[in-house]
Chain A
Amino acid sequence: MEENELEQQDRRDFLSCLGSALACGAAAVAASALAPPATAATAATAGAKPPAIPGYDWSKHRWGYGVDATKCIGCLRCVEACKKENNVLGDAHHFRTWVERYVYLEGEETARIDSHADPVNIAASGSEGEYRFADRYKDAKVEKAFFVPKLCNHCTHPACVQVCPTGATYKTEDGVVVIDHTYCIGCQYCVQACPYGARYFDERRNVTDKCTWCYHRITKGLQPACVEVCPVGARIFGDLNDKQSPISQFVKNNQVQVLRRESGNAPNVFYVGIDKEVI
């Protein structure tokens, strides 16, 4: 009986001991997991040394991007320039930026949408390495049509960053979502998480890839390659901190809208001239 009591006592002791141990362990794990980001955040706001980019301080910039769909002519020079600038895979199905064509035919409720990756457009361009829109609606009665350039929205609350298990993708202080390819394990959670389909998987390197707003160019005072080559000024880029920059003026002087506002990602690519079917 006594022994039994002792045993019960022990079990109770053990359970309480185990409980407190678990609590302690959880606290320790939580502390080790949470503490570093917390200190990092305070360090960053306290003006820690910015990354070693010559002549560039990321705390002084907040990049933004504008698309004026009323100007886009669908020449796809941006798609080609982006691929060259960033060594994107050469075929039609891997791209960091793309252009969609929305065509409303007479009597049709919804738009017909295609991009350079559509088989008809690939056939018109002659190969997957060249990009052009085929004049496929020349005999149809078109009520309304327009082109919409698309790219990563570099969201303020990026879902892709939230789901990354390794910290390979992140948002920089100046507002650009980038990927550290040496840390990417190719799980593609981020490809799934992005509401805009802006990420693609690079089978060549087994990593995910995406638009960086040409981070290597903008940190040198240049424009992203797509903005650089756009012949009609449909793509606008600049620093939202600078009230005179093209993007600040664009946002100020136009009724801009963003794609999928309801997703809660708070995108930073601002559109003019698109209608409700563009998402």
Chain B
Amino acid sequence: MPRHIVRLVLLMVAIGAVGYVAKIFFTADSFYEYGHYRGKSVAEIASDKPKYKGSEYCESCHAERFAEWSKGVHNKSDIGKVVKCEVCHGAAGERDVRGMFEHLATGVDHPNKLKLVVPTDARKLCTLCHEKMPGRPAQQPQIVVASHAGTQQCTVCHNPHSPKLNLVSTAPTPIRGDAARGKAKAAACVGCHGAEGVSVNLPGPSLAGQNAAYFIAALKAYGTGARDNPMMSAFAKGASDDDAQDLAAYFAALKCQSSLTAEKQAAAAGRATASKCIACHGADGVSSNRAWPNLVGHSKDYLVAALRAYKSGSRKGNMMAGIVKTLSDAETENVAAYYAGASCK
């Protein structure tokens, strides 16, 4: 065979050999271990740290909220509807990012440094699932946002952890005040709210039998200026937390008495209008939830004044503001008479 042909063949063999060696040299160890890929990459991909940790992860520290949630409508595992903690609050685990993203790794999970979101704009969050929209299945509870709540936040009425209950909180707030101490302190209140907390033709509302939690919240509102009344603001600013607790305990323990009976005729007319109030304040003026005030035992004048204050905006209340808008003057009078005439039980 001519020499140039031999050279050519040798060159080809050499190239082949170099190529083969290069292939052996450059192929990763575990390539072809299971197939045409790097076998070790399987375990590498599986080694990432999960970010979403599940609701059980939250339970150990947030037992109270967890219990609330687990009994509520956002945890209906029997029909497959479960809104887990991390759906609204974000992932609790921050994973370490491998490779070129190592600089992004914080390496901490939620309780350590990583703060979770407490959503402030419930209107934006809740409507992700509950805004009425074509395509959403009928079994999904949906609202027309504009007519359902105006511009109010969902959390004014709904507890996001257990929204079906409809009201902010049903858990009774423990009252640590002392009624006996409260009685002494109540001397300052008698002038306007009446002896034994029963206001008869006095400027203030009756306080006897009032829910303690509402009493404390109302007093606090006067103290902070959220509710404004020249008389009450002055008293409230001078009252400590302990005073509020003691007074609340005292008045809550008193027996409510109907202030006047003269208005009972108008009361009959107010019964129909009262349907707007019953959901929160009860048909008999005893509220279904301790966060709201009882209406029983108040004078008609006080109730009318309160409704007008809401209507004019001088008294603030997200729920009430929406409701009084719909009341005419006559209806206001009548519904006030209706509740003024409700008998104490």
Contacts and interface: CB of A to CB of B under 8 A. Distances in A.
Q: Do A and B come from one complex?
A: yes
Nearest to B104: A87
Interface string B28-68: 10011111111111111111111110100000000000000
B48 A216 contact: yes
Interface residues of B, number: 57
Interface in A81-101: 81, 84-85, 87, 101
B322 interface: no
Given A14-B5, A212-B45, A137 B134 contact: yes
Contact of A173 (B1, B34, B54, B104): B34
B319 to A, nearest CB: 25
A43 B33 CA distance: 8
B137 A75 contact: no
Contacts of B44: 180
A4 interface: no
Interface in B104-148: 104, 128-129, 131-137, 140
Interface in A17-44: 17, 21, 25, 28, 32, 36-37, 39-41, 43-44
A219 B128 contact: no
Contacts of B36: 36-37, 40, 167, 170
Interface residues on A, range: 35 or more
B46 A56 contact: yes
Contacts of A39: 32
Nearest to B16: A25
A167 B46 contact: no
B90 interface: yes
Given A14-B5, A232-B81, A84 B136 contact: no
Nearest to B81: A232
Given A51-B46, A232-B80, A10 B1 contact: yes
A178 B45 contact: yes
B82 interface: yes
A44 B34 contact: yes
Contact of B134 (A71, A145, A183, A220): A145
Contacts of B100: 205
Interface in A207-229: 212, 214-217, 219-220, 222, 225, 228-229
